[in-house]
Amino acid sequence: MMRFLLLFSRQGKLRLQKWFTPIPEREKKKIVRDMTTMVLARKPRSCNFLHWKDLKIVYKRYASLYFCCGLDAEENELIALEMLHRYVELLDKYFGNVCELDIIFNFEKAYFILDEFLLGGEIQETSKQVVSRAIEASDMLQEVRCCPVGTDLRSVFPSS
Amino acid sequence: MPAPIRLRELIRTIRTARTQAEEREMIQKECAAIRSSFREEDNTYRCRNVAKLLYMHMLGYPAHFGQLECLKLIASQKFTDKRIGYLGAMLLLDERQDVHLLMTNCIKNDLNHSTQYVQGLALCTLGCMGSSEMCRDLAGEVEKLLKTSNSYLRKKAALCAVHVIRKVPELMEMFLPATKNLLSEKNHGVLHTSVVLLTEMCERSPDMLSHFRKVWLLVPQLVRILKNLIMSGYSPEHDVSGISDPFLQVRILRLLRILGRSDDDSSEAMNDILAQVATNTETSKNVGNAILYETVLTIMDIKSESGLRVLAINILGRFLLNNDKNIRYVALTSLLKTVQTDHNAVQRHRSTIVDCLKDLDVSIKRRAMELSFALVNGNNIRGMMKELLYFLDSCDPEFKADCASGVFLAAEKYAPSKRWHIDTIMRVLTTAGSYVRDDSVPNLIQLITNSVEMHAYTVQRLYKALLDDISQQPLVQVSSWCIGEYGDLLVSGQCEEEEPIQVTEDEVLDVLEGLLLSNLSTPVTRGYSLLGEILNRIKKVVSVYGSSIDVELQQRAVEYNALFKKYDHMRPALLERMPIMEKTASNGPTEIVQTNGETEPSVPDTKHPPLVTQPANQANDLLDLLGGNDVVPVIQTTLPTKPASAGGELLDLLGDLSLSGGPAPAPVPSVPVSQPPFLLDGLSSQPLFTDIAAVIPPMTAYNKNGLKIEFTFERANPNPNIAVITIHATNTTEADMTEFVFQAAVPKTFQLQLLSPSSNIVPALNQGSITQIIRVLNPQKQQLRMRVKLTYTHKGLPVQDLAEVNNFPPQSWQ
């Protein structure tokens, strides 16, 4: 499983942090520090994999953002790269040519998209379209001012 | 109360801050506003405020005061509130907080909500951070949702079940019935999450595993699904670079691995599909290689037939040649895993692996290094070692320690010859000496000791290496030790090495000043076994350390001095022993030395003022007689003195052998206690006393007021530059001369050493005499001159006199 997913800028500023195991706040901060230090120190054409404690660290840089995840030792690093790429694609589809500013100003949306793609550190949906549709429907639901108990919204918002 | 500012506006404002302090100020202001808004229990803006809080939390600021507000949001009816509330719960709460449990009821309600997206939120939150208690409470709801026909919920429920099982493994059983039908789903999301769930169950329970194999016949099902994926046409929904749902393929392969492990039937059932995937997968992009990688791992782990295994290793071999660094990296990692079981197959790719040592990428280099060491065997040791030593030369410092250790290990196991072994060790010491681990040095020394026939060769090579470069500590240690041990072998063929050895040791001493140094004493100890000529120098060097700051060195120096002086006969026995290497701080000879005088025996019953303040046992500086300096008292055992005011040199090459002497009052025999032996007589137990003494006539140095001082000469050691003078002080008056102190000074070009006197009292009427030994080093063979100062008490009155002694017989200094 994935233990955590971090997004940070080239200056080491955190843009998103998703933790899939319970960790004390202080330790989270330390892990973030370690990851940013390690990843930012990597030379440009190094391979995307690192070893840190007993975890595999897979990272990839997309423009000004680093996507960095920590995996259990038995995970497949190459498919993890694909996972990161898929998340970027989902963000791109949602925001349209996503850039770091989108994620800064709409961080909660970035989390919502992530929560439709991963759950408990595992992939829950392998289809791009299904994820996108779910996000769109959820967004629509936000427009409804009130959602009283009993309203069967399935008639209004067909599930995908 | 004005409406709280919007999230985006806050973000914009905070980003305008130019300094950390400015940002902090803004945040504090906003936090205060949010706090008061919370206090007012404002439903309308709670969502906005919590969202802002989450942003500030991401910047690193505390946000715990928003935890309860998240719960309120979760309990709200508005979807927007719930969304932010659950997000806040996942970010701010975890199972350590009690607040966390309060969520349980909300989640339970939301799991049964009529809107699937609300249910989804609840499942997501539970599956990400639900504690064991929550999982226990809500497992039933999750299990119910596992059976729903709604695939959106079913996939989430499956992963939620995975989390529940991770937290509370005993609950695994209850999900079994619901899991059964999961694989018949067409929906890829459900398929994927089901495979994950099955994997989790198999990993945790061997019973489940065999149940799945035998009863459910899981393997054929999975094989069929995988086959469909590969064979089916283009599916736009799941396609990644021409491959259909690679995520699902990888997960299935992983589950197959677990099912096929140590099970022949299962392994056999999946052979074909594995071969098919291995040969048909498109490898131009990363995604295809990801699948191949998983396939290889599966093949290597199950009981596959040999043809399949060879196929797998060849795939890894191809990976090694791939341009993509990531691929090379995983290949090396996988090969490292398989090298134990499929050693021969991996050996075939040895040259490619060794080439990877030259890769620019650090991670790859490390893997290649580990793998190379794993591949070393008796057949390829010479070739491999050449490559590895070349790597050691050029690699980054972070690798050197591990590489050096690996080289030593490999050399130990597979060395084709002792000489090769020693050459290899030398190469490591000279190129990466400072990175060699501490424990390597004792191991090496043990190795060298054991290869008896190589001692001469070893010590010669080490000595030469030491001449070239003394900056590598382990090399110095090993070399010093060997030179000490086998120095006789070193010089036996070459007499001229005698002096170079001297130089080396002094150089070593100088350079290692201030560095961490081990066994400084050791070379000295062993060194003196070499040659008698150099004994004096060694004594001097050793004596320096008699007063060193480091207790270890000090102790050793004192011991060795004692050895020289009194326990010559024990030297042969002691020569056999090997002191243990230890790191001790060194004191260069020029460092200021603490007084050691305090450890000296107490001042006897004299009224001489204790002059201990400065480095006491630092014997005299070289005196400038011609410059008309005051006579500087030569060190005496019981009367530590200040060093000369002139120069203030602290370097004392004379040392003070009397350090190791016993308490002053003990009478010193008139015969010199220890005479340096001849070259190979280091093992002899008798001080040698040649008859050279008779050659130099004695002289009267002083004769006044009834006090007569005679000098007798010996040159009992092979060093022609040292004259050993024994003074005999006699008293012709009727009264004793008490508190007698003899002091002497010589010109700058000489070095003087005064040993303890036999006593302080010159008995009256020639009833006895005081004897004292002076040793003068006269390397330039200049005419010996001396100024003496005598102090004593006679008939109750103190007497002091100065005199020059110029009438030395020529033989004493030529």
Rounded-to-integer distance, Cα B473 and Cα B519, Å: 11
Best mutation target among A124, A142, A151 (most B Cβ atoms within 10 Å) is: A124
Which of A107-121, B306-320, B641-655 is least confident? B641-655
Asked whether the beta carbons of B620 and B643 are under 8 A apart, the reply is yes
To the nearest whole angstrom, how far is the Cα of A102 from the nearest Cα of chain B?
Answer: 11
- Between the alpha carbon of residue A115 and those of residues A71, A125, B125, B333, the distances in Å are 17, 10, 9, 32
For residue B127, which residues of chain A lie inside 8 Å, CB to CB? Answer: 119-120
Q: Is A158 on the interface with B (CB under 8 A)?
A: no
Indicate the pLDDT class of residue B613, thresholds 50, 70 and 90: very low
For residue A46, which residues of chain B lie inside 8 Å, CB to CB? Answer: 325, 361-363
CB atoms within 10 A of CB B791: 17
Indicate the pLDDT class of residue B786, thresholds 50, 70 and 90: confident
Q: Is A136 on the interface with B (CB under 8 A)?
A: no
The per-residue pLDDT for B512 is 40
B770 lies in a domain?
A: yes
Indicate the pLDDT class of residue B734, thresholds 50, 70 and 90: confident
Instruction: Kindly state the percentage of chain A with pLDDT values over 90.
Output: 81
Nearest to A30 by CA among B89, B88, B60, B130: B60
Q: Which residue has the higher pLDDT, B622 or B133?
A: B133
Distance, C-alpha B686 to centroid of its chain: 47
Which one-letter amino acid corresponds to residue B252? I
B42 lies in a domain?
A: no
- Reply yes or no on whether the pLDDT at B676 is more than 70: no
Rounded-to-integer distance, Cα B9 and Cα B477, Å: 67
Of B58, B95, B189, the CB nearest to A124: B189
- Reply yes or no on whether the pLDDT at B212 is more than 90: yes
Asked whether the beta carbons of A115 and A124 are under 8 A apart, the reply is no
Of B7, B95, B326, the CB nearest to A78: B326
Beta-strand relationship, B583-585 and A55-62: unpaired
Residue-wise pLDDT for A85-109, tens only, equals 999 999 999 999 999 999 999 999 9
For residue A158, which residues of chain B lie inside 8 Å, CB to CB? Answer: none
Rounded-to-integer distance, Cα A114 and Cα A87, Å: 7
Angle at the Cα of B347 (from B342 to B348), degrees rounded to 5?
A: 110
Rounded-to-integer distance, Cα B76 and Cα B132, Å: 25
The per-residue pLDDT for B553 is 59
Which of B325-334, B402-411, B644-653, B697-706 is least confident? B644-653
Please indicate whether, in this complex, the C-beta atoms of A50 and B363 are within 8 angstroms of each other.
Answer: yes
Rounded-to-integer distance, Cα B285 and Cα B294, Å: 15
B507 lies in a domain?
A: yes
Asked whether the beta carbons of B600 and B659 are under 8 A apart, the reply is yes
Please indicate whether, in this complex, the C-beta atoms of A82 and B290 are within 8 angstroms of each other.
Answer: yes
- Reply yes or no on whether the pLDDT at A120 is more than 60: yes
- Reply yes or no on whether the pLDDT at B563 is more than 80: no
The per-residue pLDDT for B473 is 63
B320 lies in a domain?
A: no
For residue A128, which residues of chain B lie inside 8 Å, CB to CB? Answer: 237
Asked whether the beta carbons of B304 and B269 are under 8 A apart, the reply is no
Indicate the pLDDT class of residue B597, thresholds 50, 70 and 90: very low
Residue B522, domain extent: 438-573
Rounded-to-integer distance, Cα B274 and Cα B260, Å: 12
How many helices (H) and strands (E) chain B has is answered by: 32, 12
Domain tally, chain B: 2
Rounded-to-integer distance, Cα B252 and Cα B235, Å: 18
Q: Is A64 on the interface with B (CB under 8 A)?
A: no
Asked whether the beta carbons of B121 and B110 are under 8 A apart, the reply is yes
To the nearest whole angstrom, how far is the Cα of B304 from the nearest Cα of chain A?
Answer: 20
Which one-letter amino acid corresponds to residue B161? A
To the nearest whole angstrom, how far is the Cα of B391 from the nearest Cα of chain A?
Answer: 19
Rounded-to-integer distance, Cα B34 and Cα A124, Å: 35
Q: Is A17 on the interface with B (CB under 8 A)?
A: yes
Write the CB contacts of A132 (distance below 8 Å, at least 6 apart in sequence). Answer: A90, A93, A94
The per-residue pLDDT for B716 is 55
To the nearest whole angstrom, how far is the Cα of B466 from the nearest Cα of chain A?
Answer: 38
Please indicate whether, in this complex, the C-beta atoms of A14 and B55 are within 8 angstroms of each other.
Answer: no
Please indicate whether, in this complex, the C-beta atoms of A108 and B87 are within 8 angstroms of each other.
Answer: yes
For residue B152, which residues of chain A lie inside 8 Å, CB to CB? Answer: 134, 159-160
The crossing angle, in degrees rounded to 10, of helices B151-167 and B132-146 is 150
Query: Which structure tokens are listed for B775?
Result: 């040793």
Asked whether the beta carbons of B45 and B66 are under 8 A apart, the reply is no
Q: Is A101 on the interface with B (CB under 8 A)?
A: no
Please indicate whether, in this complex, the C-beta atoms of B117 and A122 are within 8 angstroms of each other.
Answer: no
DSSP one-letter string for B641-698: -PPPSSTT----SS--GGGGS--TTSPPPSS-S--PPPGGGGG--S----GGGGGSPP
Please indicate whether, in this complex, the C-beta atoms of A124 and B360 are within 8 angstroms of each other.
Answer: no
Residue-wise pLDDT for B418-459, tens only, equals 778 878 888 888 887 777 777 777 777 777 777 666 676 777
Please indicate whether, in this complex, the C-beta atoms of A152 and B114 are within 8 angstroms of each other.
Answer: yes
To the nearest whole angstrom, how far is the Cα of A109 from the nearest Cα of chain B?
Answer: 10
The per-residue pLDDT for B235 is 84
Mean pLDDT (whole number) for B762-783: 83
Residue-wise pLDDT for B315-342, tens only, equals 999 999 998 999 999 999 999 888 888 8
Indicate the pLDDT class of residue B203, thresholds 50, 70 and 90: very high
Query: Which structure tokens are listed for B309?
Result: 């295994």
- Reply yes or no on whether the pLDDT at B118 is more than 60: yes
End position of a domain, from candidates B549, B573, B597: B573
B197 lies in a domain?
A: no
Mean pLDDT for chain B?
75
- Reply yes or no on whether the pLDDT at B550 is more than 70: no
Residue of B nearest to A152 (CA): B114
Rounded-to-integer distance, Cα B303 and Cα A81, Å: 29
Nearest to B562 by CA among B662, B470, B487: B662
| Cα dihedral B77/B83/B89/B91 (nearest 10) | -160
Q: Which residue has the higher pLDDT, B195 or B499?
A: B195
To the nearest whole angstrom, how far is the Cα of B149 from the nearest Cα of chain A?
Answer: 11
Residue B464 class from Cβ within 10 Å (0-12 exposed, 13-18 middle, 19+ buried)?
exposed
The per-residue pLDDT for B759 is 85
Query: Which structure tokens are listed for B532?
Result: 């008698």
DSSP one-letter string for B719-741: -TTEEEEEEEEEE-SSS-EEEEE
SS (H, E, C) A12-23: CCEEEEEECCCC
Check residue B5 and give left, alpha or beta (phi > 0: left; psi -120 to 50: alpha). Answer: beta
The per-residue pLDDT for B291 is 96
Mean pLDDT (whole number) for B370-381: 89
Of A46, A125, A149, the CB nearest to B155: A125
Write out the H or E segment, with its range, that includes residue B803. Answer: strand B797-805
Of A22, A108, A119, the CB nearest to B94: A22
The per-residue pLDDT for B98 is 76
Residue of A nearest to B100 (CA): A22
Rounded-to-integer distance, Cα B480 and Cα B498, Å: 15
For residue A107, which residues of chain B lie inside 8 Å, CB to CB? Answer: 54-55, 58
Rounded-to-integer distance, Cα B381 and Cα B413, Å: 10
Backbone angles phi, psi at B174, to 5 degrees: -65, -20
Angle at the Cα of B456 (from B455 to B458), degrees rounded to 5?
A: 65
The per-residue pLDDT for B127 is 95
The per-residue pLDDT for B488 is 58
Best mutation target among B76, B80, B199, B359 (most A Cβ atoms within 10 Å) is: B80
End position of a domain, from candidates B517, B543, B573: B573
For residue B775, what is the domain's CATH number? 2.60.40.1230
Rounded-to-integer distance, Cα B731 and Cα B46, Å: 111
- Reply yes or no on whether the pLDDT at B37 is more than 70: yes
Q: Which residue has the higher pLDDT, B441 or B552?
A: B441
Q: Is A104 on the interface with B (CB under 8 A)?
A: yes
- Between the alpha carbon of residue B167 and those of residues A116, B128, B208, B434, the distances in Å are 22, 11, 18, 48
Query: Which structure tokens are listed for B578?
Result: 């090997």
Residue of A nearest to B132 (CA): A22
Residue of A nearest to B79 (CA): A142
Residue of B nearest to A23 (CA): B94
Nearest to B726 by CA among B753, B746, B766: B753
B726 lies in a domain?
A: yes
The per-residue pLDDT for A3 is 97
Please indicate whether, in this complex, the C-beta atoms of A115 and B124 are within 8 angstroms of each other.
Answer: yes
Nearest to B252 by CA among B197, B304, B204, B301: B197
| Cα dihedral A133/A138/A142/A148 (nearest 10) | 130
To the nearest whole angstrom, how far is the Cα of A110 from the nearest Cα of chain B?
Answer: 11
Which of A64-68, B172-176, B255-259, B374-378 is least confident? B374-378
- Reply yes or no on whether the pLDDT at B71 is more than 90: yes
Write out the H or E segment, with its range, that includes residue A2. Answer: strand A2-9
Best mutation target among B247, B255, B336 (most A Cβ atoms within 10 Å) is: B247
Please indicate whether, in this complex, the C-beta atoms of B78 and A151 are within 8 angstroms of each other.
Answer: no
Query: Which structure tokens are listed for A26?
Result: 């202080």
To the nearest whole angstrom, how far is the Cα of A112 from the nearest Cα of chain B?
Answer: 8
CB atoms within 10 A of CB A33: 12
Most confident of B341-350, B368-377, B416-425, B510-519: B368-377
For residue A134, which residues of chain B lie inside 8 Å, CB to CB? Answer: 117, 120, 152
Rounded-to-integer distance, Cα B376 and Cα B368, Å: 12
Query: Which structure tokens are listed for B215?
Result: 């009863």
Please indicate whether, in this complex, the C-beta atoms of B326 and A137 are within 8 angstroms of each other.
Answer: no
Rounded-to-integer distance, Cα A80 and Cα A72, Å: 11
Residue-wise pLDDT for B159-192, tens only, equals 999 999 999 999 999 999 999 889 998 999 999 9
Rounded-to-integer distance, Cα B365 and Cα B511, Å: 35
B477 lies in a domain?
A: yes
The per-residue pLDDT for B662 is 32
B376 lies in a domain?
A: no
The per-residue pLDDT for B489 is 58
Which of B114-118, B601-605, B774-778 is least confident? B601-605
- Between the alpha carbon of residue B6 and those of residues A105, B31, B47, B100, the distances in Å are 11, 13, 10, 27
To the nearest whole angstrom, how far is the Cα of B231 from the nearest Cα of chain A?
Answer: 18
A/B interface, count of CB pairs below 8 Å: 182
Please indicate whether, in this complex, the C-beta atoms of B159 and A126 are within 8 angstroms of each other.
Answer: no
The per-residue pLDDT for B769 is 85
Please indicate whether, in this complex, the C-beta atoms of B77 and A76 are within 8 angstroms of each other.
Answer: no
| Buried residues in B200-213 as b, exposed as e (16+ CB within 10 A) | bbbeebeebbeebb
ipTM of this complex? 0.91
Residue-wise pLDDT for B75-102, tens only, equals 999 999 999 999 999 999 877 777 778 8
Asked whether the beta carbons of B595 and B640 are under 8 A apart, the reply is yes
Please indicate whether, in this complex, the C-beta atoms of A159 and B162 are within 8 angstroms of each other.
Answer: no
3-state DSSP assignment of residue B344:
helix
Rounded-to-integer distance, Cα B73 and Cα B88, Å: 9
Nearest to B691 by CA among B715, B668, B674, B710: B715
End position of a domain, from candidates B573, B598, B615: B573
3-state DSSP assignment of residue B422:
helix
